[in-house]
């Protein structure tokens, strides 16, 4: 063969292999082939709960399927951890013009565990467009892994244990309950029947249609539920339980019937949820201009639940702490959380359930929208809380932490193997998704945004969509009312925010003589090793700003845009409408955009002068918080001196609002972690006492004679200041906490009478345990065991971690991994992180995790994605190269067990690396600045 011919053959082979690779990639062997769609499921499940057959279920499923490609040779669907009775599988061909059905012989059926596939081989190929019915019988155990179809339990007042069953199918766990096409774009109708002992109640997505006796079991019953609307498998839900319910009052005949379910001993805690649910649902019906499509909503509080809540169509499941509220025991913050979670899950009934993402790549369309719309819902319900501003600030500040890592990910994230899906249920999908939607809402305006959302939901209801479909609807409505220039599209702008990782820092360099400003952008990173590939990004940035001359902080629309070239390179912006030299300028009004701002030194000085004057409230509350956050973050990353940041923090002595204080203290908590094991920590403590003392004294201590404000933000402000004051031993904070706790201990009936103010209990408990002995710890542990209120129990669990007794914390770690001790499996990460964040507990928690990893891994069972919480908790506290090497070695040694937590582990390792960089870069300089600040303060104090 000639060289030329050989070369041609080789080239052909390369092309063939390349083409094969492309085909394989496009087919995604871990996904269903998409050649068959399900149209309807009839699902019948028999559930045994602690009877003579133990904890197990058997079932049958009839699936109406239709090939959408010609000559389909095999049927591929999902099944995991199910025992399939292969010899009983049946396939029938349905005649479209008569009820006649023809049986098709099955030559083989097999499981492919690697991809959770059940593959059925019929004797003949299936015809495109024809309907077939597939029948599969199955059985399995009710697991205790908090996913799939699992069991949960609770104790009644007599300490007798009661059991229930419940489902948690998102993202890919329906396949553990019944064979199904377990991908979000495989929507179908479901007709569900549940068999159970008569002493239980059955619930599912739809209302009960009818019941009938169970053949051969006189004390059993079949409950048959109405057929559902088209929905994805991950939204299917059912439960067998002995719960009680309260029903919301409905005004109109066609109103949705709301029932709130809980274990009998907690049914008196559902009244607030009963109030919130219908009101928020009605707000969404009006806002989306689409009536809720089901006749009922059941919301149920589950004692053991891995997620916070789950938006199953018509049967929404919650942790007890996310649904139940006891007015005389639960705190105001707990009430806010209950309202927020309910609003979030009900928003999903439209965003996620009615219109569902095609694939998990666009999970953010579900979670980001539900997070943002929920904040609107809560604000509508409780405008007196001022919660919308707080949630907006919380979301954006969380994004600034996570998305400043190289190991972050885009909002719309490519998903490979389905095992990766659980890892993107994180701050990026939820909080960055919400933040960029808020930004878009601001630059489009209310009318274009609301009409665009309505257009999208109506066009795609009961179907699947992707983010481009949303962009099209929003662009159409925005252009219609000229809310966006014709040459702009929402896609062009928003793709730069959803398809890229990170966010920009905007540098504003003013030319004070000419009245100009040069505006540039670059990706903000905490890691000082900023390789070129991480910086070559560009965002379409809506620029809002005001000046000392104008002071119009409500002008949140985009006055100008930072644009990108077609090759994604940023365009330099020169603005010629800057104020005279003596006036400051502030960009990003009310945090309307997802970006940080770095000013030149003179503009910072002008801003600091205004903040430290009596007129500091001229600057909007959110922008006061923004200035603190940007200055401290830029100092952390080495882009600016700490002296600027700490000068801004100084103004807090006159600040009365919660949001700026919360922003400052969350940032200073990071500095605290860096310094608390260093010789310079004394100066930081002195600095913090100086910052905190005026506000703590103004608030009057833990228990004040002053009338407490009913405003939620005021309550949260007091908790925040008091907690920090006790931590840094300000005034008599610790002594007052100890005294109040002792008073409680001396009560004759401490479980009935508690003299500690409800909202201050977390502060008092923690400090009393920190300053106390085994006696105080055991007293509080007993209160935990006796408590019937989930919000109280979780607060006590966190407070018990405040102990400084090494042996008590060691025992507590052991107890957290043994459910029979009283700590539920779902709460183990809370106990671990609470201990790890204390001075004494960090080394104990680290040692326990390293030495007992296999035990923890086994205990958590199937839901090993939660392991990254342990690794990230430890990483936040690590500040040395030695700790980085230790953690890296540990992760490498346990790579296989951490395979479902790779994203979180990467972020943890990068966090430790950044912490070590901070030590090299900032430790000496901040120590010097803190020393100067404290010495000046001491001199002024002496002079006074």
pLDDT, residue 587, reads: 97
355-499 folds as Neutral Protease; domain 2 (1.10.390)
Q: What are phi and psi of 54, to 5 degrees?
A: 80, -135
Lowest mean pLDDT among 143-157, 243-257, 374-388, 687-701: 243-257
In this predicted structure, the answer to whether residue 786 has a pLDDT above a threshold of 80 is: yes
pLDDT, residue 931, reads: 86
pLDDT, residue 899, reads: 83
Band (10; pLDDT cuts 50, 70, 90): very low
User: What architecture does CATH give domain 503-614?
Assistant: Sandwich (2.60)
Query: And the tokens for 243?
Result: 């719960």
What DSSP line would sit under 695-761, residue for residue? HHHHHTSSS-SSPPP--HHHHHHHHHHHHHHHHTT-TTHHHHHHHHHHHHHT-SSTTT---S-GGGH
Band (2; pLDDT cuts 50, 70, 90): very low
CATH class of the domain defined by 35-242: mainly beta
pLDDT, residue 11, reads: 40
Nearest by Cα to 270 from 346, 331, 323: 323
Are 541 and 549 in contact by the 8 Å Cβ rule? The answer is no
Average pLDDT, integer, range 861-869: 74
Nearest by Cα to 32 from 114, 136, 115: 115
pLDDT, residue 707, reads: 64
Band (860; pLDDT cuts 50, 70, 90): confident
Band (664; pLDDT cuts 50, 70, 90): very high
Most confidently predicted of 93-107, 615-629, 926-940: 615-629
Q: Give yes or no: 285 in active site.
A: no
**Count of other CB atoms within 10 angstroms of residue 737:** 26
Band (421; pLDDT cuts 50, 70, 90): confident
pLDDT in tens, 347-367: 999 999 999 999 999 999 999
| CB < 8 Å & 24+ apart, contacts of 524-527 | 524/400, 524/404, 524/595, 524/596, 524/633, 524/637, 525/404, 525/405, 525/406, 525/637, 526/404, 526/405, 526/636, 526/637, 526/914, 527/405, 527/406, 527/910, 527/913, 527/914, 527/917
Helix or strand run (H / E) with residue 130: none
Lowest mean pLDDT among 248-262, 669-683, 814-828, 897-911: 248-262
To the nearest whole number, what is the mean pLDDT of the chain? 92
Provide the percentage of residues in the chain whose pLDDT is more than 90: 85
- Is residue 348 a known part of a binding site? yes
Band (863; pLDDT cuts 50, 70, 90): low
Question: Burial level of 571, CB count in 10 A (0-12/13-18/19+)?
Answer: middle
For residues 253 and 209, which has the higher predicted lDDT (pLDDT)?
Answer: 209
Q: Is the pTM of this model over 0.85?
A: yes
pLDDT in tens, 497-534: 999 999 999 999 999 999 999 999 999 999 988 776 77
pLDDT, residue 708, reads: 62
Average pLDDT, integer, range 123-130: 95
In this predicted structure, the answer to whether residue 7 has a pLDDT above a threshold of 60 is: no
pLDDT, residue 26, reads: 44
Domain ranges within the chain, ordered by starting residue:
35-242, 355-499, 503-614
pLDDT, residue 602, reads: 97
Average pLDDT, integer, range 591-608: 97
Cis peptide before 171 (omega within 30 of 0): yes
- Is residue 877 a known part of a binding site? no
- Is residue 717 a known part of a binding site? no
Are 554 and 598 in contact by the 8 Å Cβ rule? The answer is no
pLDDT, residue 250, reads: 72
Same fold for the pair 355-499 and 503-614:
no
Active-site pick, 183, 191, 320, 345: 345
């Amino acid at each position: 063969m000639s060289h030329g011919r050989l070369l041609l053959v080789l080239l052909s082979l390369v092309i063939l292999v390349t083409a094969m690779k492309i085909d394989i990639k496009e087919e995604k062997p871990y996904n269903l082939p998409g050649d068959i769609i399900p149209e309807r499921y009839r699902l019948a499940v028999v559930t045994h709960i602690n009877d003579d057959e133990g904890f197990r279920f058997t079932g049958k499923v009839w699936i109406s399927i239709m090939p959408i490609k010609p000559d389909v040779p095999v049927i591929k669907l999902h099944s995991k951890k199910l025992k399939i009775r292969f010899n009983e599988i049946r396939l029938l061909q349905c005649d479209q013009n008569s009820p006649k059905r023809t049986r098709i012989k099955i030559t083989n059926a097999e499981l492919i565990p690697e991809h959770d596939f059940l593959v059925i081989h019929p004797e003949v190929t299936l015809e495109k467009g024809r309907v077939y019915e597939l029948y599969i019988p199955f059985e399995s155990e009710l697991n205790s892994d908090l996913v799939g179809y699992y069991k949960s339990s609770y104790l009644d007042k007599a300490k007798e244990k009661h059991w229930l069953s419940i489902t948690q199918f998102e993202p890919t766990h329906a396949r553990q309950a019944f064979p199904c096409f377990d991908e979000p774009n495989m929507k179908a109708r479901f007709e569900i029947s549940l068999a159970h002992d008569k002493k239980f109640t059955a619930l599912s997505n739809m209302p009960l249609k009818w019941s009938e006796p169970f053949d051969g079991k006189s004390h059993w019953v079949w409950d048959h539920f109405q057929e559902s609307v088209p929905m994805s498998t991950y939204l299917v839900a059912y439960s067998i339980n002995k719960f009680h319910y309260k029903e919301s009052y409905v005004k109109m005949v066609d109103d949705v019937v709301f029932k709130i379910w809980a274990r009998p001993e907690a049914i008196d805690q559902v009244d607030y949820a009963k109030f919130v649910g219908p009101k928020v649902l009605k707000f969404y019906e009006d806002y989306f201009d689409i009536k809720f499509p089901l006749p009922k909503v059941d919301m149920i509080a589950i004692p053991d639940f891995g997620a916070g809540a789950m938006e199953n169509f018509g049967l929404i499941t919650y942790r007890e702490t996310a649904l139940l509220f006891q007015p005389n025991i639960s705190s105001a913050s707990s009430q806010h959380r209950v309202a927020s979670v309910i609003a979030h899950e009900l928003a999903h009934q439209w965003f996620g359930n009615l219109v569902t993402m095609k694939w998990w790549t666009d999970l953010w369309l579900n979670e980001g929208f539900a997070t943002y719309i929920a904040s609107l819902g809560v604000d509508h319900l409780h405008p007196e809380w001022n919660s919308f501003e707080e949630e907006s600030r919380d979301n954006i500040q969380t994004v600034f932490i996570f998305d400043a890592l190289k190991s972050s990910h885009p909002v719309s994230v490519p998903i490979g193997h389905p095992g990766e899906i659980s890892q993107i249920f994180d701050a990026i999908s939820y909080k960055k998704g919400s933040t960029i939607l808020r930004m878009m809402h601001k630059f489009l305006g209310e009318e274009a945004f609301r009409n665009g959302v309505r257009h999208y939901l109506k066009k795609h209801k009961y179907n699947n969509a992707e983010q481009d479909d949303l962009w099209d609807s929003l662009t159409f409505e925005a252009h219609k009312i000229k809310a966006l220039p014709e040459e702009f599209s929402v896609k062009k702008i928003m793709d730069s925010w959803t398809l890229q990782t990170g966010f920009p820092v905007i540098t504003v360099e003013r030319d004070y003589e000419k009245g100009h400003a040069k505006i540039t952008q670059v990706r903000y990173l905490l890691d000082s090793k900023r390789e070129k590939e991480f910086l070559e990004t560009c965002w379409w940035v809506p620029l809002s700003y005001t000046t000392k001359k104008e002071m119009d902080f409500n002008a949140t629309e985009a006055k100008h845009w930072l644009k990108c070239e077609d090759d994604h390179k940023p365009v330099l912006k020169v603005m010629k409408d800057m104020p005279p030299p003596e006036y400051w300028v502030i960009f990003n009004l009310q945090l309307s955009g997802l970006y940080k701002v770095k000013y030149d030194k003179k503009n910072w000085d002008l801003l600091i002068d205004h903040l430290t004057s009596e007129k500091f409230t001229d600057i909007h509350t959110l922008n006061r918080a923004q200035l603190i956050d940007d200055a401290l973050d830029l100092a952390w990353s080495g882009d600016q001196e700490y002296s600027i940041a700490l000068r801004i923090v100084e103004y807090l002595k006159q600040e009365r609002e919660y949001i700026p204080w919360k922003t400052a203290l969350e940032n200073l908590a990071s500095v605290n972690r860096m310094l608390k094991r260093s010789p310079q920590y004394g100066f930081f403590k002195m600095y913090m006492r100086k910052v905190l003392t005026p506000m703590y004294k103004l608030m009057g201590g833990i228990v004040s004679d002053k009338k407490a404000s009913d405003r939620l933000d005021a309550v949260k402000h007091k908790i925040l200041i008091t907690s920090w004051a006790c931590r840094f031993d300000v005034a008599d904070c610790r002594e007052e906490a100890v005294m109040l706790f002792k008073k409680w201990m001396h009560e004759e009936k401490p479980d009935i009478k508690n003299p500690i103010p409800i909202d201050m209990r977390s502060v008092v408990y923690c400090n009393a345990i920190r300053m106390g002995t085994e006696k105080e710890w055991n007293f509080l542990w007993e209160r935990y065991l006796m408590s019937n209120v989930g919000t109280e129990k979780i607060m006590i669990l966190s407070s018990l971690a405040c102990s400084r007794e090494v042996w008590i914390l060691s025992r507590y770690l052991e107890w957290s991994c043994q459910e029979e001790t009283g700590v539920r499996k779902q709460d183990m990460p809370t106990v671990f992180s609470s201990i790890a964040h204390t001075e004494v507990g960090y080394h104990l928690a680290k040692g326990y995790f390293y030495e007992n990893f296999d035990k923890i891994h086994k205990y958590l069972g199937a839901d090993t994605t939660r392991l990254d919480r342990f690794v990230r908790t430890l990483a936040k506290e690590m500040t040395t190269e030695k700790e980085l090497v230790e953690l890296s070695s540990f992760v490498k040694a346990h790579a296989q067990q951490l395979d479902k937590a790779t994203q979180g582990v990467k972020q943890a390792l990068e966090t430790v690396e950044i912490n070590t960089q901070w030590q090299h870069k900032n430790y000496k300089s901040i120590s010097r600045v803190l020393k100067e600040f404290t010495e000046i303060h001491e001199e002024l104090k002496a002079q006074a």
